[in-house]
Structure 1
Amino acid sequence: MPGAIQSIERAAAALRLLASTGRPLALAELAAALDLPRPTAHGILRTLREVGFVQQDPGSALYTVGDGLSSLSTPGWDRHDLRSRSMNWADALAGGTGCAVFVGVPEGRVVSLVHHVFRPDGSPQRLRTNETVPMHATALGKCLLAFAPLVTPAARELDLHRYTGRTCTTPAALESHLAVARRRGVATSFAEHEPGIGGAAVPLRGAGGLAVGALAISGPVEHLFGSGGTVRTRLLDQLTAAAGEISVTLGHS
């Protein structure tokens, strides 16, 4: 078996030290306590500060535990901030694909749409927000179930209501869809919420790769899918590129 990752061990030790000392510490104190060269200790502390786990007083330059440690149970992105960071890319994606575009976040057992651009076939754009869609019957929802377990329920806890003949109505069927999504990196729905309408969704990621939301395109199944039920390459490439650009603005590298 591979050994422990030294940089993670050192970061964990730095956090334990800061959390247990009871007072702010200087870089020299931290480096000496951890038996590390000052440049190495500074690099670890800088990274921990950037992700919010450590904070540094601008006047004294002393280090303390950051507020980010108390919010480990949430992805940490406000829905309104997520919408503002994604809207330009979502709008461009709608224009380039001719699909409706959704940006969503988990909210209980449904997906809350923080941004929805509806512009099929070059028609005028319409914006809708503050709506919800089911998790088990939409690509957006299945994407969050597959990639954001921190803030989504287990499949067996959902009300698997049947919308069409293709809707997943058992936890086993839904888990199978989620396994495929994780393997392919994209979640899909094939006329599961609305007859004739399909969707494809990929996660939006923040610092460290944590999934904080999802970006989806939706439209007629014949427009979205090619032979074998796979998303058309041109559309998938545009979707993943847009999600990648949005993720960069959210701190993903």
Structure 2
Amino acid sequence: MLVQSVRRASAILRTLAHGGPRLGVTELAEQVGAAKPTVHALLRTLEAEGLVEQDSETGKYRLGAGLLMLGNAYLDTHELRARALTWADSLAKRSAEAVWVAVLNGDHVLVVHHAFRPEGAVQILEVGASIPWSTCALGKAIVAFGPTADRERLLAGELPVLTGTSITDPVELATQLDQVAATGYAVEDQESTIGDAGVAAPVYDRSGHVVGAIGVVGPVERVLVEPTRQEIAVMVRETARMLSRDLGAARTPSRRGA
């Protein structure tokens, strides 16, 4: 049984996360689809718990610091992230590029760990970044080896356009997923961000289910140029296999789950 007040509170938090830096009660009520008194009462409760904050000048609301503590607790207790730390750092050193570890969250992938590229300019930590699954190698790697039902659901859903090379044709994307399943790794070519590319492979847990993916991310002219692309693919698959074993996986399945 779902509790409506909890669902509405969650909707308020999601709206604040995506609707702008600050929103008023009226705006939130319209977007959440609830009465103003109900939204106001929920906001007061969320504020008391530190999950939202009210601007003293405008009276509008924004996300609170309490969510950051919850997010950090999620990362600290996430087994894939904990096990991936050493493997991601090693892969970053070997490939001389940044490495991301991600999990599937709805129709997006959530970056739970980011190992910086060993050398180069200032880099931005991408932990917490949420990316449409269809526009990145990490998402394709997870979906290609995940349950068939999930694959069909995601292919039937929205396929966002982030760049001119983002794939929006489900048939074309399905064909690419079949290729990923055959090769053991996925590739992104500027589909999420112009100039960036990625190579990723799936990670499994002790039950043999896909729990996420690990991949190299960097400038397209470095990551996808041959023979570097193939060298990175070998490194990524090898690292994903070792990380899977660290999580208790007996073997890496070669096809999608049922």
**Count, aligned residues:** 174
Q: Which amino acid aligns with 1:148?
A: G
**2:199–2:232 Cα contact (<8 Å) kept:** no
Task: Determine helix, strand or coil for the equivalent of 2:158.
Answer: coil
- The match for 1:174 is 173
The 1:187/1:221 distance shift into structure 2, 3 A limit, reads: same
Q: Which amino acid aligns with 1:116?
A: H
- The match for 2:56 is none
Q: Structure 1 stretches of 5 or more lacking a match?
A: 1-77
Q: Which amino acid aligns with 2:185?
A: V
**1:226–1:232 Cα contact (<8 Å) kept:** yes
Alpha-carbon distance between aligned partners in 2 of 1:234 and 1:174, rounded to the nearest angstrom? 24
**1:106–1:152 Cα contact (<8 Å) kept:** no
What are the within-5 Å matches in structure 2 for residues 23-38 of structure 1?
none
Alpha-carbon distance between aligned partners in 2 of 1:155 and 1:173, rounded to the nearest angstrom? 14
TM-score scaled to structure 2, two decimals? 0.61
Q: Which amino acid aligns with 2:119?
A: D
Task: Determine helix, strand or coil for the equivalent of 2:135.
Answer: coil
The 1:168/1:90 distance shift into structure 2, 3 A limit, reads: same
- The match for 2:190 is 191
* 1:204 is the counterpart of 2:213: no
**1:101–1:215 Cα contact (<8 Å) kept:** yes
What are the within-5 Å matches in structure 2 for residues 149-160 of structure 1?
149=147, 152=150, 154-160=153-159
Please state how far the C-alpha of 1:215 moved relative to its aligned partner: 0.6
Give 1 or 2 for the bigger CA radius of gyration.
Answer: 1
| Superimposed CA distance per residue, residues 126-168 of structure 1 (whole angstroms, 9 cap, x where no aligned partner) | 6442221110010001111111127845233332111112110
Q: Cα RMSD between the aligned structures?
A: 2.4
- The match for 2:26 is none
Q: Which amino acid aligns with 1:89?
A: W
What are the within-5 Å matches in structure 2 for residues 94-105 of structure 1?
94-105=92-103
Alpha-carbon distance between aligned partners in 2 of 1:151 and 1:216, rounded to the nearest angstrom? 24
* 1:93 is the counterpart of 2:91: yes
TM-score scaled to structure 1, two decimals? 0.62
Greater mean deviation of Cα atoms: 101-110 or 145-154: 145-154
Alpha-carbon distance between aligned partners in 2 of 1:151 and 1:125, rounded to the nearest angstrom? 37
Please state how far the C-alpha of 1:196 moved relative to its aligned partner: 1.6
Alpha-carbon distance between aligned partners in 2 of 1:223 and 1:247, rounded to the nearest angstrom? 27
Match of 2:247 among 232, 247, 250: 250
- The match for 1:110 is 108
Please state how far the C-alpha of 1:81 moved relative to its aligned partner: 1.4
Q: Structure 2 stretches of 5 or more lacking a match?
A: 1-75, 251-258
Match of 1:131 among 112, 129, 132: 129
Query: Equivalent pairs: percent with the same residue?
Result: 34
Task: Determine helix, strand or coil for the equivalent of 1:174.
Answer: helix
The 1:126/1:181 distance shift into structure 2, 3 A limit, reads: same
- The match for 1:82 is 80
Please state how far the C-alpha of 1:226 moved relative to its aligned partner: 3.2
What are the within-5 Å matches in structure 2 for residues 22-61 of structure 1?
none
**1:106–1:151 Cα contact (<8 Å) kept:** no
- The match for 2:162 is 163
Alpha-carbon distance between aligned partners in 2 of 1:206 and 1:151, rounded to the nearest angstrom? 19
| Superimposed CA distance per residue, residues 59-116 of structure 1 (whole angstroms, 9 cap, x where no aligned partner) | xxxxxxxxxxxxxxxxxxx971111111111012112212221111111110111111
Q: Which amino acid aligns with 1:218?
A: V
Alpha-carbon distance between aligned partners in 1 of 2:115 and 2:218, rounded to the nearest angstrom? 12
Alpha-carbon distance between aligned partners in 2 of 1:197 and 1:85, rounded to the nearest angstrom? 26
The runs of at least 4 consecutive aligned structure 1 residues that moved more than 3 Å come to 120-128, 150-153
Alpha-carbon distance between aligned partners in 2 of 1:126 and 1:165, rounded to the nearest angstrom? 24
Match of 1:234 among 224, 231, 244: 231
